[in-house]
Amino acid sequence: MKKRGRIILHVDMNSFYASVEAAHDPSLKGKPLAIAGNPEERKGIVVTCSYEARSFGVKTTMPLWEAKKLCPSLIVQRPNFDRYREASKAMFDILRSFTTLVEPVSIDEGYVDITELADHEPIELIQTIQDRILRELDLPCSIGVAPSKFLAKMASDMKKPMGITVLRKRDVPLIMWPLDVREMHGIGEKTAQKLYNIGVKTIGDLAQGEEIQLKALLGINGKRLKDRANGFDERKVDPESIYDFKSVGNSTTLPKDVSNQSELIAVLFKLSQKVSQRLKAKGMLCYSLSIMIRFKDRKTITRSCTLKSPINHEDDLLAAAKSLFLAHWDGSSIRLLGVTGQELVERKQAVKQLDLFSYEEDAKHEPVDKVLEEINKRYGSGKLNRGIEFKRETRFPAAETSFSKDFLKDHD
């Protein structure tokens, strides 16, 4: 009996935040709409925009003043994250009504394995899924159909909005290989430039590239990208993967009970630094932060706060952790402290309600952060820090433990 090939979908909501707002307020339908912070001051950054706005040249991350210059009739609204999370949950609930093999990867996209459902006419089933999301939630989506997660992701980007695109492995040389290598999922600007420098311009060039050369250039990622370019991807749709990166946390048990505030803040800094490094290594930011305090009598409390915008800088993490700590510490001796970033989001998908000042501040810090990360990576954490100074304190061991999992709560 011939082995049945996998049928995997990548469901990608179209202009999600703008579409949710238009579904909530039908008067916005068909109009150029942008979601941005500080719209009254014209200093926000465009988070996302409707396809009508895109037709004027408006793009994500564009300063609002520039977007309004391109499209004077642009309607601007602040993000409503509660509304978007509610819509996301409803969308995934619809997908799970067809099968349990649903893997959310962000607030507005996920994979679905329908191999066991599609005996005869899979396209009819896929059309039904797309139609239900549109009919019940008034939200458009594009769906990529392929035998692997990677190809399904590539396919879903090929026709927007409301597209259904099938990408078979045998179609890869004809459809995918002629594309510029930067259009391949998993390749950012920096990696693309490295590949350009060795003459790899298209996905086809990457597919036929020298494995040794690619490994020397990109490490183990070189072979993985070459495999993807050839259509190889054996990853399964894993509903449990939403628990993999729910949080990034570090805690440390102090070698002695401590009640000195400056020493405890110094420990919070070390923990925030560790969490920052791990978030950056994963390419993630966090929307909320929690601390754990275990007192001398072993009483343990955890306290959390929602952040105004997603963060991964150690300074920002420390500021939030310090504020929580000072609000909930009663002055008693402490034996354990922990800091955890929660509600994680990929950096490239993070929505930050920035005004022009904070945007410029972030950009200014980036080169410095890279230098600090490289030094700490090479010589050890804490050898050099940016703009934060503490009194000399007792050095505590960095016993690392993740102790909280609160990401994607709606999917629990």
Q: In sequence order, what DSSP letters do the residues of 198-222 get, joined into one string?
A: TT--BHHHHHTS-HHHHHHHHTHHH
pLDDT of residue 381 exceeding 80: no
The model's pLDDT over 246-260, given as tens digits with 9 standing for 90+, comes to 678 898 988 889 999
Beta strands 46-49; 300-311: pairing state: unpaired
Active site residue 66: no
Q: How confident is the model at residue 135 (pLDDT cuts 50, 70, 90)?
A: very high
Beta strands 109-113; 164-166: pairing state: unpaired
Cβ neighbourhood burial of 304 (10 Å; 0-12, 13-18, 19+): middle
Cite the annotated binding site by residue number.
12, 108
pTM, 2 dp: 0.65
Beta strands 141-146; 164-166: pairing state: parallel
C-alpha–C-alpha distance, residues 312 and 281, integer Å? 10
The model's pLDDT over 279-295, given as tens digits with 9 standing for 90+, comes to 988 888 888 899 999 99
Q: What pLDDT, on a 0 to 100 scale, did the predictor assign at position 403? A: 30
Which of these is catalytic: 109, 374, 393, 400? Answer: 109
Find out whether 10 and 50 touch, Cβ atoms under 8 Å: no
Which residue intervals of 283-408 are DSSP H helices? 314-328, 356-379
CATH 3.30.1490.100 fits 243-411, yes or no: yes
Give the three-state DSSP class for 120.
coil
Range 324-341 burial, b when 16+ CB lie within 10 A, else e: bbeeebeeeebbbbbbbb
Find out whether 84 and 16 touch, Cβ atoms under 8 Å: yes
Find out whether 254 and 334 touch, Cβ atoms under 8 Å: yes
Say which residue, 85 or 32, is predicted with more confidence: 32
Cite the annotated binding site for Mg(2+) by residue number.
12, 108
Q: How confident is the model at residue 264 (pLDDT cuts 50, 70, 90)?
A: very high
C-alpha–C-alpha distance, residues 407 and 412, integer Å? 9
pLDDT of residue 358 exceeding 70: no
The residues of the chain that CATH labels 3.30.70.270 are 1-167
C-alpha–C-alpha distance, residues 110 and 236, integer Å? 13
Cβ atoms within 10 A of the Cβ of 264, count?
21
Residue 145 in tokens? 């159909």
Q: Which CATH class is domain 1-167?
A: alpha beta
Residue 92 in tokens? 């995934």
Which residue intervals of 60-188 are DSSP H helices? 64-70, 81-96, 122-137, 149-156
pLDDT of residue 119 exceeding 70: no
C-alpha–C-alpha distance, residues 311 and 342, integer Å? 10
Mean pLDDT of 125-136: 96
Q: How confident is the model at residue 245 (pLDDT cuts 50, 70, 90)?
A: low
C-alpha–C-alpha distance, residues 211 and 382, integer Å? 37
CATH value of 173-229 in 1.10.10.60, 1.10.150.20, 3.30.1330.10, 1.40.20.10: 1.10.150.20
| Cross-strand pairs, 141 | 13
Place of tokens 């991964």: 312
The residues of the chain that CATH labels 1.10.150.20 are 173-229
Find, among 375, 381, 376, 385, the residue nearest to 395 by Cα: 381
Please give the single-letter amino acid code of residue 214. L
C-alpha–C-alpha distance, residues 21 and 32, integer Å? 12
The model's pLDDT over 212-241, given as tens digits with 9 standing for 90+, comes to 999 999 988 899 999 999 999 999 999 877
